[in-house]
Amino acid sequence: MDKIKPVVLDRGACYAALSAHDARFDGKFFAGVSSTGIYCRPVCRVKRPKAENCSYYPSAAAAEAGGYRPCLKCRPELAPGLSPADAAARLARKAAFIISHDCPEENTLAELAGRLGISGRHLRRVFNAEYGVSPVRYVQTCRLLLAKNLLTDTNLSITESAMTAGFGSLRRFNDLFKKQYRLTPGDIRKQDKHFSEKDKSGITLFPAYRPPYEWDKLIKFFSDRALPGIEEVRGGVYRRTAALQNRDGLHRGWISVMNVPAKNALAVTLSRSLLPVLPKVLARIKILFDTDCSPLEIYEKLSGMNRIRAGLCAAGTRLPGSFDPFEMAVRAVLGQQITVKAAGTLAARFVAAFGEKLTSPFDDLFYTFPGPETIYHLEGPVENHLGPLGITGARARSIYALAEALVKGRISLTPEADSEAEMKKLMSLPGFGPWTVNYIGMRALSWPDAFPHTDYGIKKALGGKPAEEILALAEHWRPWRSYAAVDLWNSLEVL
């Protein structure tokens, strides 16, 4: 077994960030305080500890392995993570994302390594280098912190909180909670709780992000592209339906997301029907709203865009992701060479024809998007089914080819997928050209360096430059060309 080596962090820099409550470092390290036995986020507002009492860890799991329990004030379970698409240590971060995405499932180390196409030993090595603990210990911390989050912010019972967080045994949960946190689950639940009537149909959690956050531009992007029946944006609140699978079957429901800038967090409310897939929901919401990115690092690289035109690049730009990668890929195909509005009309017809009806408390949310299996198992030529919707034969065949490739496992749009490799595979499908593949790379695969250089909006934002000249210019924006594309779209009065 590989020996776990501690990850060394710059003590002076960490203490300076902790003293300044610097939100830019939130989730990038955690501070353990020996005088209290507690670990905190850099943004914690408790009295500043003495420097000699502080030790620093690259993850919450590493802090807990060091013998510290989470702070009840700053709540480490709410901290933003590290994007799995970041260039550095991408493999370890993908593994961490899978763990957070599937923490209720019993993934063994061998299964996790197999999904990533590497050996268990190599996974342990790269994971420890990035997070300071083994994957197994990281899984345990994810489950404990999710349970603590549910106990603090929802009216779920202790048993419901434990089971939702992935603990198959209430006794094991209680024992582990007391061992790690030197508190009982009941100690957390004893805090005063004030829940409204709406909490009877849903629960609300508050995942954090690093500021600045261009929420208004992001929500406008989603509003302009909201898919009728599936999505809506009203009063700055994003809502959508969801259908997610786990080992118990398919779970369907609704989600509502709003910004809480005073907390540098999102308020994510979801129906109780989605509790069995809660970690998957939270992971996909973080992708959709790009909560784990480091905006100032990206701005530092892209700020040169402002020499082209003042204000072209903004600090806090987010990459609009997707909740359902297949949904996003289908919408990319439907959006080929037509307006955003026309693409939305075709997508709405597609959903009405193949989506499954859902009852929700929102008048405009009444379908869930069909899975690739639904399209793959259509009888007869696919054109016969999609043609009456106004979808051309070429696009119908493209959608079917995508569904077939996903069902048969030839292409993967899952979080652990190698984005560049999958984009190359997509290029081999009929009707998938550079624009479509790069758009899917940006939004469905969350690849930060995709760039649809032939896009009409990008050409317009850059004064009509030829596509080849635009592609050459974008070389200066690597590895964040996807964010550059969003900045260019945001610079237009009409996206």
CA distance 280 to 247: 13
Catalytic residue among 40, 54, 74, 293: 40
Buried residues in 20-57 as b, exposed as e (16+ CB within 10 A):
eeebbbbbbbbbbbeeeebbbbbbbeeeebeeeebbbb
Residue 478's pLDDT is 93
Under 8 Å CB-to-CB from 463, ≥6 apart: which residues? none
**Cα–Cα distance for residue pair 91/108, rounded to 1 Å:** 17
Model pLDDT, residue 152: 93
The 10s digit of each residue's pLDDT in 290-308 is 999 999 999 999 999 999 9
Query: Which residues make beta-bridge pairs with 232?
Result: 239
- Determine contact, residues 129/7, Cβ cutoff 8 Å: yes
Q: How far apart are CA 127 and CA 138, in angstroms?
A: 9
- Quote the pLDDT of residue 282: 95
What integer pLDDT is reported at residue 209 of this predicted model? 97
The 8-class DSSP code of residue 449 comes to T
pLDDT band at residue 3 using 50, 70 and 90 as cut-offs: very low
Of the pLDDT bands very low, low, confident and very high (cuts 50, 70, 90), residue 9 is confident
Report d(CA 46, CA 495) in Å as an integer. Answer: 44
Q: Do the strands 69-70 and 38-40 form a parallel or antiparallel pair, or are they unpaired?
A: parallel
* Domains of the chain, first to last: 11-78 (3.40.10.10), 90-189 (1.10.10.60), 198-292 (3.30.310.20), 293-319+448-495 (1.10.1670.40), 325-447 (1.10.340.30)
Residue 304: the pLDDT is 95
Q: Taking CA 285 as the corner, what is the angle to CA 343 and CA 135, rounded to the nearest 5 degrees?
A: 135
Under a CB-based contact definition with an 8 Å cutoff, are residues 114 and 44 in contact? Answer: no
Q: Strands, DSSP E only, in 136-224?
A: 202-205
What is the average pLDDT across 184-191?
A: 85
Write down the pLDDT at residue 495. Answer: 37
Tens digit of each residue's pLDDT (9 = 90 or more) over 455-495: 999 999 999 999 999 999 999 999 999 999 999 999 996 43
Write down the residue that tokens 């992701």 correspond to. 321
Which one of 2-6, 93-97, 354-358 scores highest in mean pLDDT?
354-358
Task: Evaluate whether 317 touches 486 at the Cβ level (below 8 Å).
Answer: yes
pLDDT of 10 above 80: yes
At 193, is the pLDDT very low, low, confident or very high (cuts 50, 70, 90)?
low
* Torsion 74-97-145-180 (CA) sign: negative
Q: Look at residue 191 in the predicted model and tell me its pLDDT.
A: 62
Average pLDDT, the chain: 91
Cβ–Cβ < 8 Å for 56, 9: yes
How many CA atoms are closer than 13 Å to the CA of 343, on its beta-carbon side?
A: 18
pLDDT level of residue 199 (50, 70, 90 thresholds): low
How far is the C-alpha of 353 from the C-alpha of 170, rounded, in Å? 44
Catalytic residue among 26, 102, 449, 455: 455
- Give the integer Cα–Cα distance in Å for 329 and 399: 8
Residues 6+ apart with CB under 8 A from 363: none
Query: Taking the model in full, what pTM does it have?
Result: 0.90
Residue 444 is predicted with a pLDDT of 96
Cα–chain center distance at 193: 28
Confidence of residue 129 (pLDDT cuts 50, 70, 90): confident
Q: Residue 195: what pLDDT?
A: 53
**Residues of the chain with pLDDT > 90: what percent?**
80
pLDDT at 81: 87
pLDDT tens sequence across 231-288: 999 999 999 999 999 888 999 999 999 999 999 999 999 999 999 999 999 999 999 9
Judge whether 40 counts as a catalytic residue: yes
Order of all β-strands in the sheet with 38-40: 54-57, 30-33, 38-40, 69-70
